[in-house]
A = this chain, B = another copy of it.
Amino acid sequence: MKNIIIASTSTVHGSGYLEYIMKELDTFFSTAQTILFIPYARPGSISHDEYTATAKKAFSQINKTVRGVHEFENPIEAIKHADAIFVGGGNTFVLTSQLYKNNLIEAIRTAVINGTPYLGTSAGSNICGLTIRTTNDMPIVYPPSFNALALVPFNLNPHYLDPDSNSKHMGETRETRIKEFHGFNPQPVVGLREGSWLHVQEDAIILRGNLTARIFKKDQKPYEIAPGSNLNDLK
């Protein structure tokens, strides 16, 4: 049974790494002794070791062992045998490129469909959608494809940001960008604000956290959904 947390962010303002969601993760990872961490997104271009150390420290609070996928000689086998998977945030293009390079897209998808718990934050959440075409990140490397894990039948926009009505900046708002996405792509997009996450349990996709999320469908007016809403019909 699919069991996935798709979180907007690892960190909310004024709080530590994963702190806002750690109680939830204690339950979510209850069957896992060791979490396989995928540090490929490299926020701030830090090394895989440095990034893994951050995850190790955070999960030691709930007595979990963390191992970086880069520590294994065969990353595909590491995915196959993982108790649980955590894909951290950073740059979605760097993450996606590295997943393709190591042939992990299919391996992760298969493991998660077969029930391995998966936590994604930010870039690690972007890749849960059909494509990474709604990431906010800068395209600093060129991946072989924008196709992603397709664990849910829509796209994600983590760190969703409402338009600032006082801004004098002429760059596009997030809403305008997603509208442009729908000029070229059919699938819905879920705008997840920081502090929100989706909990996918097989066919149920429930919005968690205290905030509403914004749903964008092609040729329709965007709308808000309340925490607790089920997105099982969204596609």
A residues with a Cβ closer than 8 A to B are: 9, 11-14, 42-45, 91, 93-94, 132-142, 145-146, 159, 161, 168-172, 176-185, 194
CA distance A9 to B145 in the complex (A): 29
> Considering only CB atoms, which chain B residue lies closest to A138 in the complex?
B177
Q: For the complex formed by this chain, how many copies does it contain in all? A: 2
Q: How far is the CB of A145 from chain B (nearest CB, A)?
A: 7
List of B residues within 8 angstroms of A172 by Cβ: 43, 137
List of B residues within 8 angstroms of A43 by Cβ: 172, 180
Q: A133-B138, A139-B139, A159-B170 are in contact. List 15 more A-B contacts (CB 8 A).
A: A12-B170, A13-B168, A13-B170, A45-B179, A94-B180, A133-B139, A133-B140, A133-B141, A135-B138, A138-B178, A138-B181, A141-B184, A142-B146, A161-B171, A170-B194
Q: How far is the CB of A92 from chain B (nearest CB, A)?
A: 9
Q: How far is the CB of A122 from chain B (nearest CB, A)?
A: 8
List of B residues within 8 angstroms of A132 by Cβ: 139
